[in-house]
Amino acid sequence: MSEEVKIIEKKEVPSGAIMLYGFPDVGLVGVIAASHLISELNLTEIAYMDSKLLPPLIVLHEGLPHSSIRIFGNHDVLLAVSETAIPADTIYPIMDALIDWGKNKNVGMMVSLSGIPIQDRQDAQELKVFAAASTKEMLKMVQDKGIEVLNEGYMVGPQAIVLQRCARIGVPAVTLLAQCFLNYPDPEAAAETIKKLAVITEIKVDVSKLREKGEEIRLRARDVMKRTQQEMTKMKKTQEYDIPVYVS
């Protein structure tokens, strides 16, 4: 692990778990999904990130300081989540440290939860969830389970690094991307990623509360969304709309 980024373990970490990522990105899909999973699965904090690369910021919960990037878990699941937008220029060392830590814990698979923005999202009747994977075998697995693959295009942000690094170090990884708003918190899209997570893993969670509380979540998540927009601009997130030049 890099000296710049340390992951401090607070509890025993299970071996062979599934590691999930929920980071601030389009529609805050990953963060909203992660928050719901933590609550529904009663996940507890088992590790946190300590790094001077992060802004001088702590999150206070019940008066006590916490790192903005933490790992929650139980016997079967590890979930890395960030409560604030990650500065664009620190994404590589932060994600590399988390992925390498997960590999050292022998995680069976890594799954990033995020979104893919669509125009006129408010008119969409159903939100599709697309998948991309680190290997052909993982891609076949998601296709066999009926999830549409994101065939061509660009991916920008934490989930892009997860796929790239996992492909290199031989950890099976999948990214689930639900159609969503670009710049507005989207709890409906978060619910769709959780439903598809249940299709490819044993993690089954009821999403009805997420739907019921959708408007409250949108109201509450405005500030994090705004900060995330600023970081997405810096990392040229809108490149995901670009049509790639085909290079075989």
- Summarize as ranges the residues that interact with other proteins (CB under 8 A): 121-123, 181-185, 214-216, 218-220, 222-223, 225-226
C-beta of 28 vs 176, nearer to other proteins: 28
C-beta of 64 vs 219, nearer to other proteins: 219
DSSP secondary structure, 13-53, as one string: PPSS-EEEEE-S-GGGHHHHHHHHHHHHTT-EEEEEEEETT
C-beta of 12 vs 215, nearer to other proteins: 215
Pairwise CA distance, residues 103 & 170, whole Å: 9
Minimal distance, residue 83 CB to other proteins, in Å = 13
Minimal distance, residue 32 CB to other proteins, in Å = 13
Minimal distance, residue 244 CB to other proteins, in Å = 23
Read off the tokens for 204: 């089954």
Q: Cα-atom radius of gyration of the chain, to the nearest Å?
A: 17
Q: What's the burial of 66, exposed, middle or buried (CB within 10 Å: 0-12/13-18/19+)?
A: middle
Amino acid found at 203: I
3-state SS string over 201-231?
CCCCCCCHHHHHCHHHHHHHCHHHHHHHHHH
C-beta of 148 vs 216, nearer to other proteins: 216
Helix (H) or strand (E) holding 146: none
Minimal distance, residue 181 CB to other proteins, in Å = 8
Minimal distance, residue 237 CB to other proteins, in Å = 14
Minimal distance, residue 228 CB to other proteins, in Å = 11
How many other C-beta atoms lie within 10 A of the C-beta of residue 88?
17
C-beta of 60 vs 247, nearer to other proteins: 60
C-beta of 125 vs 208, nearer to other proteins: 125
Biggest alpha carbon distance in the chain?
Answer: 54
